[in-house]
Amino acid sequence: MQLQSKTSKDVPSPVTVDYYQIKGTDQVRLRVITLLGKTLNKTCIEVHDMAREIDNLLLHEFAVTVNTNRPRQIVPVKEVAQCLTHYHAQAL
């Protein structure tokens, strides 16, 4: 899924947020934030956090620009495990 901010006089280039499925897990997604074609941030995010984040982006006038299944990404197991550990620690 891809969301993009609106452009305006103050923000001439949109910020793009992409969420990709990850091979080997359905609980975590890869989030990539780009501006002007350059990656600003690439991190794993738990699906419940992703859902809340998408709701928040939609409230701030981001629009869904791509809503299709994209190829699953290969992410190091350590990064996926850190994301899940962080999520489970917050749930306690």
Residue 40 CB neighbours (<10 A): 12
12-38: pLDDT as tens digits = 889 999 999 999 888 999 999 999 999
Asked if residue 32 lies in contact with residue 17, where contact means CB atoms within 8 angstroms, the answer is yes
pLDDT at 91 over 80: no
Residue 92 confidence (pLDDT): 43
Express each pLDDT in 57-86 by its tens digit.
Answer: 999 989 999 887 788 888 888 888 887 776
Q: What is the pLDDT of residue 82?
A: 81
DSSP of 8-48: -SS--S-EEEEEEEETTEEEEEEEEEEETTEEEEEEEEEHH
Instruction: State which residues form the domain around 7.
Output: 2-91
> Per the structure, how many domains does the chain have?
1
Whole-model pTM: value is: 0.83
pLDDT, position 89: 60
